[in-house]
Structure 1
Amino acid sequence: MLYWVLKAVVGPILAVLWQPRAEGVHHVPRSGPAIMASNHLSAFDHFFGALPLRRKITFLAKQEYFTGTGAFGRVQRWFFRGVGTVPIDRSGGTAGEDALHAGLRALGHGRLLGIYPEGTRSPDGRLYRGKTGVARLVLRSRAPVIPMAMTNVDRIMSARRVVPRLGTRPGVRFGAPLDFSRYYGMEHDPLVLRAVTDEIMYTLMQMSGQEYVDRYAQEVKEERRQRSRAHRARDGTSGRPLPGESP
């Protein structure tokens, strides 16, 4: 219920302030399960991706969104629980299986499941290597895969910004369903999982116009954090974090 209340209240505000573009909405099925595979530029992807749709998108999200403290933490928990986001614990060895089963449950209820194959926000606006969890989900569920490419959203709200920037028009492009039926029954083959994942990422690259980097985004973020810590230690000051240092 809260999802639709927030959409009714926040949606018109977003539409007036940023006039977002939407293309290919007809590719999203009107009923039944589907996997919405998206690039990940900003926390605002959740809003602008779902805004033009008449159906709710259930996103998988890190559990940290539900464990914050203080007033901000309470508001954050209220928001993510209200909109039906599924928390995933990424700290343990079973994180991948937990995410898989949570996604399968959502699809089993006929929902649209939003997933970011990169696993984290892009640190610099480029498209990074996808993790094969999305392929396991595709082959286990056999649900249609709708590529969802976000554009310009990072120019509104990057990881380092506190206040959204005006003057940029974001967009979302929904592509035609991707067919992976030729791989059904092969979800235990690592080469197949990589092939499915790479096809999804290649499609997102074509749709978004992003430069592709054949590395995991989380590795790049960690390298930047280490360089920033070394720089601060060398200078003997706290210094400013390098771009992309925050998760």
Structure 2
Amino acid sequence: MADLRRAVLWWGFRALCRTVAGLGRALYGLEAEGLEHLPRTGPLVVVCRRISRVDFFAPALFCTLVRGEFSGITSAMAVSNSRLLASAAESMGILANLKGAGLSAMPLLTAYKMLKQGKILLLADEGEVPWDGRLQPLRAGAAWLALRTHAPVVAGMVHGGYDAWPRWARGPRRGAKLTMRFSEPFHLADRAWDRVTPAMIEAGNRRLVEELATLSRGYMLRRQRVSA
């Protein structure tokens, strides 16, 4: 019965993701670049940079590109505040976490176990959506997971999101072009570490920021705020 429930939930979730991705294609010409870099099986940590209110198109498109199931951590208030949604999400391996709090202990340890089982883990960059679209300082979650498991990491970013709906704008704007870009896989260490030090986290975060900044070149590193 549990397997049937899980299968039905995944079918519904994928149908929703296909619908959202299709809406992104219709409204903003949503497409993906760097798919040749994206492994189709785990273990894998995908860290996506958030810059706008339309970044939800990224996980929807990601869901349509990856074979099999993947896991993730969400700070969506609808999941965090609803026992029904939280239970459904947990059944699918989607973990609820407090918004803006970074990865707390329980979701972090569960995510670690998922990676050890060969899962694909989709993470946001753990901060709030920035008002000006600039890359925010990273917290320890993604780096800790990659260092503990030696899972490869892929960085992701939606180009055009800030043009479509920045945080400060009252509503979305038409005319923007959305492109989901992926980096080549990379490791934060040469092996899995049983003990991860603050210095290792700091070095890992620097590498993550460098990869996210590289994906941002030509778009968010040199942009000026446009009027609402």
TM-score by length of 2: 0.75
What is the alpha-carbon distance in structure 2 between the residues aligned to residue 106 and residue 149 of structure 1?
23
What is the alpha-carbon distance in structure 2 between the residues aligned to residue 57 and residue 48 of structure 1?
14
* Residues 56-98 of structure 1: per-residue CA shift (max 9 Å, x gap): 5533122633255xxxx89x948x8397631014699x96322
Which residue, out of 137, 147, 151, partners 1:139?
A: 147
Letter in 1 for 2:130: S
Letter in 2 for 1:140: R
SS at match of 1:181: coil
Which residue, out of 6, 16, 37, partners 1:27?
A: 37
TM-score by length of 1: 0.70
Show the counterpart of 2:97: 88
SS at match of 1:42: coil
Query: Quick one: structure 1 residues 130 and 91, their matched pair in 2 at CA, closer, same or farther if it must change by over 3 Å?
Result: closer
Letter in 1 for 2:189: S
Q: Tell me the percent identity.
A: 23
What is the alpha-carbon distance in structure 1 between the residues aligned to residue 54 and residue 195 of structure 2?
32
Which residue, out of 16, 19, 29, partners 1:9?
A: 19
Larger radius of gyration: 1
Does residue 114 of structure 1 match 2:122? yes
What is the alpha-carbon distance in structure 1 between the residues aligned to residue 130 and residue 15 of structure 2?
30
Give me the CA root mean square deviation: 3.2
Letter in 2 for 1:143: A
Query: Quick one: structure 1 residues 91 and 120, their matched pair in 2 at CA, closer, same or farther if it must change by over 3 Å?
Result: closer
Task: List gaps (5 residues or longer) in structure 1.
Answer: 213-247
Query: Quick one: structure 1 residues 208 and 95, their matched pair in 2 at CA, closer, same or farther if it must change by over 3 Å?
Result: closer
Show the counterpart of 2:161: 153
Show the counterpart of 2:226: none
What is the alpha-carbon distance in structure 1 between the residues aligned to residue 93 and residue 12 of structure 2?
9
What is the alpha-carbon distance in structure 1 between the residues aligned to residue 46 and residue 80 of structure 2?
26
Structure 1 residue 54, shift from structure 2 partner: 3.2
Structure 1 residue 31, shift from structure 2 partner: 1.5
Does residue 124 of structure 1 match 2:132? yes
Does residue 66 of structure 1 match 2:79? yes
Whether contact under 8 Å (1:49, 1:148) holds in the other structure is no
What is the alpha-carbon distance in structure 1 between the residues aligned to residue 209 and residue 143 of structure 2?
11
Letter in 2 for 1:65: A
Letter in 2 for 1:62: S
Letter in 1 for 2:14: W
Q: Larger deviation: 134-143 or 53-62? A: 53-62
Does residue 205 of structure 1 match 2:213? yes
Does residue 42 of structure 1 match 2:42? no
Whether contact under 8 Å (1:65, 1:77) holds in the other structure is yes
Between the two proteins, the alignment pairs up a number of residues equal to: 205
Q: Larger deviation: 109-118 or 128-137? A: 109-118
Structure 1 residue 133, shift from structure 2 partner: 1.9
Whether contact under 8 Å (2:42, 2:119) holds in the other structure is yes
- 4+ residue segments displaced more than 6 Å: none
